Chain A
Amino acid sequence: MTDVTKGPDGAAETAVEAQPAVSGGARGDEETVPIALNVARTLGRRLLELLVLLIGISTLLFFLLRLTGDPAAVLAGETGDQEQLELIRKQYGMDKPLIVQYGVFLSQVVVLDFGRSLANAQDALGLVFERLPTSFTLVIIAFTANLAFSIPLGAWLGSRPDRQTRKLVATGVFIAQGIPGYITGLVLIQIFAVELRWLPSIGNQGPASWIMPALTLASFQAPHVIRVISANVSEAMREDFIRTARANGAGFNTLLWRHALKNAMLGATALIGTQVAFLLSGSIITEVIFAWPGLGRLLVTSVQTLDFPVVQAAVFCIAIFVFIAITATDIVFLFIDPRLRRQRA
Chain B
Amino acid sequence: MTDATAAKSQAGFKEKRRIGTGSTQLNLGLVIFSMIIIALIIQGLFIPSSALDGELTVRLKPPGMTSNGFHLFGTDQLGRDLFFRVMGGLPWSLGIAGLATCILATIGTLVGLVGAWYENFIRTTVLLTISTFIAFPFLVLALVMVAVIGRGFWPITLTLGIIAWPVVARVIYAEGRGILQREYVLAAKLFGVSKWSILFVHVLPGIRPTILVMAAFLFAVMLIIESALSFLGLGAPLNAPSWGNMLSDSRQYLINAPWMMFVPAGAIVSAVISLNLISDGVAEISRMRARAVEI
Contacts and interface: CB of A to CB of B under 8 A. Distances in A.
Tell whether any CB of A sits under 8 Å from a CB of B in the complex.
yes
Interface stretch (A79-87, A142-150, A318-326): A318-326
A177 B276 contact: yes
B139 A284 contact: yes
A4 B234 CA distance: 23
Contacts of A274: 135
Interface stretch (A90-98, A121-129, A300-308): A300-308
B139 A281 contact: yes
A170 B131 CA distance: 31
B106 interface: no
A67 to B, nearest CB: 9
B137 A281 contact: yes
A8 B175 contact: yes
Contacts of B143: 284, 299-300, 303
A10 interface: yes
A6 interface: yes
Interface string B261-284: 100010011001100100110111
A50 B250 CA distance: 40
Interface stretch (B44-52, B67-75, B91-99, B207-215): B207-215
Interface string A326-337: 100000000000
Contact of B144 (A178, A278, A311): A311
B227 interface: yes
A12 B25 CA distance: 13
A285 B228 contact: yes
B287 interface: yes
B191 to A, nearest CB: 28
A104 interface: no
A178 B251 contact: no
A186 B265 contact: yes
A187 interface: yes
Interface string A287-312: 01100000000011001101010010
A183 B268 contact: yes
A132 to B, nearest CB: 14
Contacts of B140: 280-281, 284, 299, 315, 318
Contact of A180 (B137, B145, B171, B268): B268
Contacts of B175: 8-10
A1 interface: yes
A180 B232 contact: no
B69 to A, nearest CB: 27
A111 interface: no
Given A6-B214, A285-B139, A180 B224 contact: yes
Nearest to A50: B132
A33 B135 CA distance: 28
B258 interface: yes
Nearest to B258: A190
Contact of A186 (B146, B150, B247): B247
B108 to A, nearest CB: 11
B254 to A, nearest CB: 5
Contacts of A48: 128
B237 interface: no
A288, A308, A323 interface centre (most CB from chain B within 10 Å): A288
Interface string A1-18: 110111011111000000
A284 B231 CA distance: 12
Given A2-B224, A186-B247, A65 B148 contact: yes
A9 B132 contact: no
Interface in A229-246: none
A308 B136 CA distance: 19
Contact of B261 (A52, A186, A285, A299): A186
A281 B255 CA distance: 28
Contacts of A288: 231-232
A114 interface: no
B29 to A, nearest CB: 11
B221 interface: yes
B23 to A, nearest CB: 12
A274 B136 CA distance: 9
B19 interface: no
B280 A11 contact: yes
Interface in A8-55: 8-12, 48-50, 52-53
B269 A178 contact: yes
A311 to B, nearest CB: 6
A173 to B, nearest CB: 11
A8 B175 CA distance: 6
Nearest to A11: B283
B64 interface: no
Contacts of A175: 273
B160 interface: no
B147 interface: yes
Contacts of A52: 128-129, 132
Given A49-B131, A182-B228, A10 B286 contact: yes
B90 interface: no
Q: Which 3 A-B pairs have the closest CB atoms?
A: A10-B210, A178-B273, A281-B137
25 contacts: A8-B210, A9-B175, A10-B210, A12-B213, A12-B280, A64-B148, A64-B149, A68-B148, A179-B272, A180-B224, A180-B227, A186-B247, A186-B265, A281-B138, A284-B137, A285-B228, A285-B231, A289-B251, A299-B140, A303-B143, A303-B147, A303-B234, A304-B234, A311-B144, A318-B140
